[in-house]
Structure formats: C-alpha cells, structure tokens
Amino acid sequence: MTPDALPQPALWPLTLIVFLPAFVAALLSLPIIPKAREEAIRWIAFATTAVTFVLSLWMAWPGLFAALGFGAAGPAQFAIGEAGMQAVVKKPWIPAFGIEYLLGVDGISMPLVLLTTFLSMLASAASWPITKHVKAYHVLFLLLVTGMVGVFVSLDFFLFYVFWEVMLLPMYFLIGIWGGPRREYAAIKFFLYTLLGSVLMLIAILMLYFTSDLRMLSPEQLIAARVVPDAAAAAEMASGTEPVHTFNLLALAALGQLPNSPFAALEVWGMSLETWAFLLLLIGFVIKVPVVPVHTWLPDAHVEAPTPISMILAGVLLKLGGYGILRICYPICPGGGLTLAWLVCGLGVVSMVYGAFAALAQTDFKRMVAYSSVSHMGYVMLGLGVWSAVAGNEFRWDAWAQGVNGAMFQMLAHGISSAGMFFMVGVLYDRVHHRDLNRFGGIFNRMPVYAGLAVAIFFAGLGLPGLCGFIGEVLVTLSAWNYSRVFAVVSAFTVILTAAYILWAIQRVYLGAEYTGPHGEDLVPMTRRELAIAAPLVFLAILFGVAPQTLFAYVTPTVNQQVQTLAAWTREVRPEAPPTQPALGTARSSRPQPPRESPRVTSEQPAPDQVSAATREATDPTAGGGTVN
C-alpha cells in the first residue's frame, strides 16, 4: 500500500487527541517531577485531559470556534450533518500485512470521542481525593484515556484491537490498587472476562482478514474505503494474481455487503463464516456492554473501583461495546446480524429486565447504580438489534434507523447520567464512608445543593421526559414495536421498574427527616471542585433532554446512511422477507438469486426506487463519504 498522496489535514489533530495523554503519561513516569509533588502531578494530568477535550471540541464543533474568532471551519474539522467518514488519516504501518495507521471520525464516533474526552476531564478532576501513589495513578489514567479514544477513531481492525487491549492493563491496576476491599477479585474478574472476549474477537479478526480480498471491490469502493488514492492504483490492485487481504474496516464492510460476499461463501461447521464472525465479535463486545449473562464483572468492578474510574467505566467503557457492534458487527457481517437479530434483541431485553430487578434488590448504593447500567445498556442492545428492515413481511429501514438512532442517543445520554450518578454516590461516600442505602436519609436537609443536583441526575437516569434518558428509551421502544411486540411491551414496562428503584433510592437517601448513619458530622456541603464536576453533567442532562437535536445533528445522517445501505443489502440478498426470528443455521440459501422487488410494498415506506437511489448516492464516493462506515 503506497502512502496516500492526498493531504491529511487531520493528521496532527487526531493524533494529538489520541496520543497526547499517553505522551504525557510517559513523561510523568520519568523521574522529572518528583513523586512527592502530588498537586503538580494532578494539575498536569488535568491539563492534559482538558487540552484533549478542547482539541476534540475544536474538531467536533467548528461553529463554536469560528464564533470565538478562531477562523472559519478548517478541513480537519468535522462537518456536522454530513454522513460518512471524515478527517481520515492514513499512514502505512506494517506493509507486509497491509496494516495501516488509519484513523477517522464520523457521526457515530465523533460524539463518542467528545464524550470520552469530556468525561476523562471530569474524572481527572474527580481524582483529587486520590492520595495513594498519585503519580502512578495518573500515569495509568492517562494511558487508559489514550486506549479509549484510540478505539473510537481506529479504522484499521488491527489498530482497533491494539487500542482495545491497551485499555485492559491500566484498568486492571486502577481497580486493583486504588479500589475497595475486594479490589483484587474485581480487577482480575474484569480482566479475565474482557480478555476472553477479545481473544474470540482476535480469532474473528484473523478469519475475516484471511477471507477478505480487495480485488473483489470496485475502484469506487476502494477509493471510498481509502484503500487506494486513485483509480490507477485501484486498477493495479485488481490486476494482481494473489488475493489482497485487508484490515481496513471500511473495505471489510464493503466486502461484507457485496452480493457475493466472501464471508458468506465460506462454511465452517454448518454456519457461514459471516455468522461465526458476527457471533465471536458479538461475544467480545457484549462482555464490554455488558449483557446478561456475562455482566457479572460489572457490579464488582464498579463497586470496587474508585469514583473517577467508576465514572469512566460506566460512562465510556460500556459504550465501547455498543460502538463495536454498530461499527464492526453489522456492517462487516450483515448476514450474521440478520440471522442473529433475535439474539441481539433478546439479550437486550433480558438485560434490561434482569438489571432492573437486580437494582431493586440492592442495598449498596453503588451496586444499585451499577445494575442500572446493565438495565440501561439493554436498551442500546435492543435498539441496535431491531433489524426492522424486514419487520414482519415488510422492508422498513426507517423503523430500524429509529432504533439505532435511539441506541446511539441512549449511549451518549447514559454516558452523562451514569457518570453523574457514580460521581454523586462518590461524593456521599467520601464524606460518610459507607454506601448502605438503608442507613442514609435526610441528605436534602444537610446538603441541599448536592441533593438537588443528584436528584436531577437520577431523574435523568430514570428517563423522565425533558431529561436525556427519555429520548433514547422512547425511540428504542417505539422501533422495537415493528420488530417484536413482546419486546416492545417488555421494554416499556421496564421503565416502571427503573422508576421504582430510582425513586426508592432517592427516597431512602435524600428524603427523610434526618441522617442517622455514621459520620453524620462530616456531611459538609459540596466543594467548588465537586460542584464544577456535577454542574456540567446536570446541564448536559437537561440540554440533551430538551434539545435532543444537538446530538441527532451528529448521529442521524451517518446512522441513517448505514441503515439504508444495510436495508438495501437485505432487499438484495433476501428478496422475500424472512420470518422475524429465523432459526440458527438457516443461512442465506437464497443469496445467489437475482434481486427482486418485494411484492408487499406498503405506502408509508419509501418506494424501492427511493431506497436504492439513496444507496446509490451513498455508494458514490463523490457524494463525500462512501457507503461503508
């Protein structure tokens, strides 16, 4: 692969966003600043995360910086409202395997990058109460940030995997050294679960890599996937005699969506490779999400981790799983997604109900919040999985798009609300050193400002209309109706359970006459630092609740494009709509058949021509993006 001749304006901005924290961590680990200067180390770490956040904000919101007088939007910045990959950076890394330093952002990853850098900044600010081995803590924390941002911006599967694994070790030590009483158990459990998932993922990556063949793609697709810079190089690639394998996620997605996809052609033990890969990748990602039954690491890790790490865990790490499913599983293995849609949705529904019931049963405040995460991430799974493109007997991409948009919104909203909830629990724990729900009460009287903010955040988690938790859940539930009415009804009823555990917790902690638990004398009002962390979270929870279009402006174009492409793909390979819950192993026997119009086109859905027109437009690289994100 020759290095791209095209200019890469985003090379330094994106590289800095990813690697600045790691670079500072490396500097900190050298004995330049003595260990004893803890305050300086804290400030350096905070400044690093703040710079990273400002950089990502500069990329994500050119309008703001233009208004502030930094000049008009540059080519390295993100064009809001445009679908497709932007700010792509490409440098050769390991030519022997076609591995590249390939980064880029689109409407799915940009808001998640922003969420990550924002929460990292807040978590860094929330790390002031950490007094044990301050230097080591911040070095590991900054390494963690690099890993998280790197996963969201990687477009090369190998690079993605490297970043994915880079997160593990810092997290292990952050939980294992600075955690609560059962920290060692929680840390190794977290590590083992995730490593098991990522080994399965590695197997899937290798399978996909060695099955892929870039020669099958058209020159337009190759250029859109940033494999080659121009048509001449594409023609040269197509003329080769040996298959050209690739780790390029965009190219893999284009290959996976070909009518003669190489991933669907290969059968292994009675299932197509595509289904296997989907399954293996899904296991890797749902462990991170997490869904029942692989969720058990989460309550332990959350409860034992120190407050800032809990914020990062709930706010960012869980989103990596959802992001992986959306970015990798569905586009690359659409056939597997179609076959296993019932599995994804079923896991989502089971998680949301189980998580809610488990949260009801907890007496530990933090554990309750942890189970609420399991329940809330269930909505994400359900929203991603509703392959309503073939709901019942109809092709309907719009209902599915609604679900995926809802899931994306839910991920971002949960990032805000769960980080906020964990922070609020932490504030209380720092004062009274216990988390027993039954021994709280009367906090409203003692700490009115804190209690007000906390209740707002908890209501956001509850999904109260007007706050951020509402939008995502409603969209997901509505879209699930088209896929399976049972799932829709169950997910709607789960809201009642959610309301029950959150209201009950608020009642037990904040209401009541007076606080009778231990360390009552330490219940001092929030410090300014704590206020500065809590206030932005509450502000965003309200903002996203009343003006969801602030987020949808980023998310919707890209999500809609991806869903449209996949819906058109479904029509092509499955002309007759399959049953809603296809049994395992009934892979596409109908694949080689020529595309046929569905006989049952209803009036509300876009006419078939319209969909394929949209797809054609999306496939056209000159339309700025490419089909394959």
Residue numbers of the site for another protein (CB under 8 A)?
A: 29, 93-96, 136, 161-162, 165-166, 168-169, 172-173, 176-177, 183-184, 188, 191-192, 195-196, 199-200, 202-203, 206-207, 209-211, 242, 266, 268-269
As given in the structure block, the two tokens for residue 621 are 């690289």
* Identity of the residue, 65 or 172, whose beta carbon is nearer to another protein in the bound complex: 172
Task: Work out how close the CB of 136 gets to another protein at its nearest, in angstroms, rounded to a whole number.
Answer: 8
Q: How far is the CB of 170 from another protein (least distance, A)?
A: 11
Min dist. Cβ of residue 588 to another protein (A)? 21
Looking at the Cβ atoms of 96 and 513, the one nearer to another protein is: 96
Amino acid at 94: I
Whichever of 203 and 497 has its CB closer to another protein, that residue is 203
For residue 442, give the 3-state DSSP assignment.
Answer: coil
Instruction: Yes or no: say if 431 and 523 are a contact pair by the CB < 8 Å rule.
Output: yes
Question: Which of residues 1 and 457 has its CB atom nearest to another protein in the complex?
Answer: 1
CB closer to another protein, 19 vs 493: 19
CA distance 403 to 335: 19
Q: What is the DSSP letter of 521?
A: G
Residue 102: helix, strand or coil by DSSP?
Answer: strand
Tell me the C-alpha distance between 187 and 167, whole Å.
13
What SS3 state is found at 2? Answer: coil
Place of tokens 């996909």: 208
Min CB(143)–another protein separation in Å: 11
Bin 184: left if φ > 0, else alpha if -120 < ψ < 50, else beta: alpha
Query: Which one, 173 or 544, has the nearer CB to another protein?
Result: 173
Q: How far is the CB of 150 from another protein (least distance, A)?
A: 10
Containing 90, the helix (H) or strand (E) segment is strand 86-94
Cα(333)–Cα(191) distance, integer angstroms = 27
Cβ 244 to another protein shortest distance, Å: 12
CB of residue 266 to another protein, shortest distance in Å: 8
- Residue 103 Cβ, how far from another protein at the closest point, in Å? 16
Nearer to another protein, 6 or 268 (CB): 268
CB closer to another protein out of 101 and 504: 101
Helix axes 468-483, 448-462, angle to 10 degrees: 10
Specify whether the CB–CB gap between 130 and 137 falls below 8 A.
yes
Terminal C-alpha separation, the chain: 21
Determine phi and psi for 513, rounding to 5 degrees.
Answer: -75, -55
The torsion of the CA quartet 615, 618, 620, 625, rounded to 10 degrees, works out to: -160
Beta carbon of residue 419, minimum distance to another protein (angstroms, whole number) = 26
Which tokens in the block code for residue 310? Answer: 């809990």
Residues with Cβ within 8 Å of residue 65, at least 6 apart in sequence: 57, 58, 71, 77
**Residue 86, SS3?**
strand
Which residues, including other chains, have CB under 8 Å from residue 161's CB and lie 6 or more apart?
198, 201, 202, 205
Nearer to another protein, 187 or 234 (CB): 187
Least distance between another protein and beta carbon 7 (Å):
25
Computed on alpha carbons and rounded to an integer, the radius of gyration of the chain in Å comes to: 24
Instruction: Rank residues 285 and 552 by Cβ distance to another protein and give the closer one.
Output: 285
